[in-house]
Chain A
Amino acid sequence: MKAMICSDFITMKNSLGQLLILNVLIAVIITVFSNSVLAGTAALAVMIPFMYVLSIAAYDDMNGWQCFRLTLPLSRRQVVAGRYASTIIVFVACALIALIYAFVFMGVCSLLPDGAVAEELLFANNPVETIIATVGMTLFIALVVSAITLPLMLRFGMTKATRVIPVVLVLLLAGAIYLAGEMGIEDQLAWMLVTNGGELVFFTPSLQLALLGADVAALVLFVLSSLIAMQWYAARQF
């Protein structure tokens, strides 16, 4: 599996560097123009993971690389396990980078003279737990979406998967909305939400706890997804 992880990172080495620089710039632009550290942080935490998942799958399809990879001393299970491992490494690294970005950005803002930047960009208006919860939420989204898309990409290849994935995602989303309505999920989640003078207050302790639970659930889903992907990949004909 280590060899597969290494293979993925060798493949993506140059692209990851470029993606990081590009996405930090985008995060700065989003933060400055939306006056929201959370928005920039979330964008940074989620964009690179999605780009990584798509790019590495695209590289698999180029030049017959994934066929050739099967001739290397890697089993098909190791290929899948390595791909999931490299993905989760990128996700966690991006979450950490996003956290560092948020604190560095606010640190730089706090060094500037009063009034030079908007109040919303300072530490006082962005508690640490809120930033962590934001990154946790993006991690949840990245894990769930990749848990759905990775098996399809490994089973069908990137070219065919681009036709299958949108259909699957739309069906799952429609199903989830229907189920949520049937189960009265809004009422069940009401205990997590606190309002202040009619305005919703995000990231209350209850919601943070729920987010942590959601991240754990997403991680379990990700692991289950890897098991399905192993089954599918084992049967794939190249």
Chain B
Amino acid sequence: MQPLIKINNLIKSYKGFQLGPVDLEVDAGTIVGLVGSNGAGKTTLIKSLLGMISPDSGTMSMLGKPIQQIDDIDADLKNKIGVVLDTSAFTQESRVRDVALLGRWVFSNWDTRYFQQLMDRFGLAADKKVTDLSRGMGMKLSLAFALAHHPRLLILDEATAGLDPLARDEVLDMLRDFMAEGELPGEAAVVSVAQEPRAILLSSHITSDLEKIADRIVCIDDGRKVFEADKETICNIAGVARCKSDQVERVIAVLTDALDDPSSLRVVEGKYSTDLLVPDRFAFAQAFPEIPVEPVSLDDYLALTLKGEQL
């Protein structure tokens, strides 16, 4: 099946910063987490994809439709995409009912009943003003707006930033529901629009959220893609080995010979030990039973990858 998002060799330059060349694919049925520090280029990538800025070069497509020009994302395509940016973008004076009215006017497949269900779930009254909403409530309103036209693709840019843990979990639950609704039934002969496989591109620097929900992680730093891996590979297979100083040289030599791609190894010298990021902690434990090796969180993986010395 064709990926819902496909980006090849995307380049966008600003004075003092260049994004790319970057490749990215978001397959149907997957949640891709786009991670990186502030200013890494995540928002530039999303803005390029959404036609807010013109890339210098590269090709992009969404839901199989090529996007060459800013206005190539036509109404038909936008009706199949839900977007949440890093702020609740509705104008301050609007009320929740105005947001619903806007949705009814702009989206051809707007589902008023579903939007109302989401509002009831969040406890958002129709006459509540946007300016009176907390950040968490504002983001929930934005997410409900993005979901109420039953998109196939969700693009979220720092949608959970600034939310408390409970609100973040609630947002993640909504995203899980969104994906579940689009799951293909086993042997179904007819696939309805609502059952078309969906996908989410979720940009965030909150790695714990991505650990909970993403299937695949793409890390961008200083405008370049640093790594792309399945979350399972990172959190369940990779590990961090705590080597003593006299072990480091031997371990590195062995791993460099043994690994197909030793560039994924990272070394961080600590005060009492040297941490070594290894792609397969089980294989490492077998090869070096005397060296303790631990699972690595996405946060640590990110830190070791970005700050560690590449071999």
Contact = CB atoms under 8 A, between A and B. Distances in A.
Q: How large is the interface on A (under 10, 10 to 19, 20 to 34, 35 or more residues)?
A: 20 to 34
A117 interface: no
Interface stretch (A1-9, A23-31, A173-181): A1-9
A53 B94 CA distance: 18
B134 interface: no
A73 B78 contact: yes
B50 A70 contact: yes
Contact of A63 (B51, B71, B87): B87
A111 interface: no
B71 A72 contact: no
Given A6-B102, A238-B52, A238-B53, A73 B79 contact: yes
Nearest to B14: A237
B140 to A, nearest CB: 15
Nearest to A70: B52
Interface in B93-129: 93-94, 98, 101-102, 105-108
A184 B129 CA distance: 56
A11 B70 contact: no
A59 B81 CA distance: 24
B105 A76 contact: no
Contacts of B88: 63
A2 B75 CA distance: 13
Interface in A1-60: 2-3, 6-7, 10-11, 13-15, 59
A191 interface: no
A75 B47 contact: no
Main SS of the interface on chain A?
A: helix
Interface in A144-170: none
Given A6-B105, A64-B87, A238-B53, A74 B94 contact: no
A11 B75 CA distance: 21
B47 to A, nearest CB: 7
Interface of B: 47, 50-54, 70-71, 74-76, 78-79, 81, 83, 85-94, 98, 101-102, 105-108
Interface of A: 2-3, 6-7, 10-11, 13-15, 59, 62-65, 67-77, 234, 237-238
Given A63-B88, A65-B91, A234-B70, 8 more contacts: A3-B106, A10-B101, A11-B91, A11-B94, A63-B92, A68-B90, A73-B76, A77-B71
